[in-house]
Structure 1
Amino acid sequence: MAKKVLIVTNSFDLHADLVVPLLTARDCAVFRINLDAFPRDYQICQLFTNNKMSSEIRHLPTGASIDLAEVGAVWTRKPADFAFASEDLSAQERAYAKMETEHALFGLLYTLDCYWMSHPVALRGAMWKGEQLQRAMTMGFRVPASIVTNSPERVRAFKESVQGDLVFKCLSSPMLGAEAVADEDRIATGLATTIVTDEMMESLDAVSEVACHFQEYIHKQYELRVTIIAGRIFAAKLHSQDDPRTAVDSRDMSAEILYEATELPDEVKERCLVFVQSYGLNYSALDLIVTPEGEYVFLENNPSGQFLYVEQLIPEFKMLDAVADRLSQEAACRI
């Protein structure tokens, strides 16, 4: 009997919503954990007796359950804050409940010897922007001149050394932490990659509060979103310079710029594959620039990056099918 696919995500994940029926159509059974409803809507049991372990997860609203020995593939998508049965937990009770839940859940999941897209350990190891830049350089990519520092003096010196403009980029999330606080506590909703102005340079002492990331601004012919799914490459060419709203940061989806499929040079294709595989990832999305001179420049790697919007703009990519194909194939071969 073929094994099942376990999806670990949240209840707002449209990617998972669309992949589940594709897996079902391939005769692949699926169990989904929505972390924003966990553990409130779930029961877990990890039992060690007679030198053996057994593990089960049950979804209380539906009664569906899975024996983790039945899992052949895991798709880890997006995190979320845990939800608990009691809504009136004190701050300390909630902190303790979160720590215990994390230990219980991942102490259970990490026992799985199966196919992962991708393993949480690999995801965490691949998320650090400074390390990404260093690794990309060692693999032959050009990277922008960059600095991460909480020293205003270092930033001023770096600005003097750069020919042209400087940009500020968030290291963790362009949401500026807005996703981690209640609505009433939000003072800003985000910050795109931004060219540093003279006025900003005059306020540079604020850098001493927290380490900040600055890069030289590299002029673009176009940008690339290179999504790698189980060794398959989907390279999207973004005509970001066609609209001033996306000239500096292509993530402004209010601008209807052209996305089209493109073919990477063999050496760039191989470099992207080796970069992603070096982390042990089975999925990742890389952002690159192609300069007016035709040089390929590495910007960053997104080990859990979104891909649905790219497929919607380039329907021939069929990335949802690529995910479903690999998960179902890996589950089927672990009988």
Structure 2
Amino acid sequence: MPSERNTDVQELADAVRRGSPRAVARLISLAEDAAAVPGRGGVLRHVMAALAVGASGPSRARVIGLTGAPGVGKSTTTNMLIAGLRGRGHRVGVLAVDPSSPFTGGALLGDRVRMRDHGTDPDVFIRSMSSRGRLGGLAWAAPQALRVLAAAGYDVILLETVGVGQIEVDIARLADTTVVLLAPGMGDDVQTAKAGILEIADVFVVNKADHDGAQATIRELRRMTSLAKGPWRPPTVPTVATRGDGADDLLTALDDHAAHLEKSGEDHRRRLTRAREEIENAALAQLRSRFTDLHGDRLDALARQLLTGEVDLYTAADDIIATILRIRPEINRF
């Protein structure tokens, strides 16, 4: 007989498929909490299992990542893209990944404060997510949130993140198309691209293109991308997002890249790679959960033996792994 929790999660999943914004928000919160708080993984497992039944997964949703240094206008550009995509009839989901509060773990910036223009549109869902302090700033629960949004019928999902650390790599792994934003006068704009962003950028955007130095930045980026190897050379699109200038050109660049991915077969390869990484991450999360569930006595005993030289580090680790593998997995725990 299904438990009350299972019934509740299934009802939420059904509501998500009907496009309920409240249900979408709640399921994303459950996934986010389960990723950060030990002991709540069971809810995450139930949520994802419920969404998987009869669903085609996130393969039908197009994921566009936007990243760049603070101050380049990511949120303004996202706002501009929402307007353009809605004008084409798309239902748009937005995940804005913000720095975590050191006290609450929550996102410091609110959803509607950043993109108020679309707050009342029933076909736009905007959600801020906490980075939870993970390397690169990308929320651990973001892949699950993408699946939730896809299940709710949002056919384009914009994933905006803090542009620090290894975030560019995180974005490239989750997005079908990665947009790297730069702005003139930031000091290290093109140098940042030279340092490695070129390898993961599918489209460059030079925002604030009406500022001094913009044309020089655009010329340098185009010179760099002209030397790129491979069938796709990232275009450089000038924009003034506050005015909506360049919106059509950016949408065209995104469409061109989507067509390239489909024609070359790279689209399938990228999604297959992401699916493999999701499985790997889920397996590692379950192992971490089982490790957390171990009684501290055994670990303390091994620690004492390691200090006294009775066991070596790898033997102690083997002992813990063997203990974990002896634990019978319980479907409701993870």
* TM-score between both structures, scaled by the size of structure 2: 0.24
Structure that is richer in helix per residue: 2
Structure number having the greater strand percentage: 1
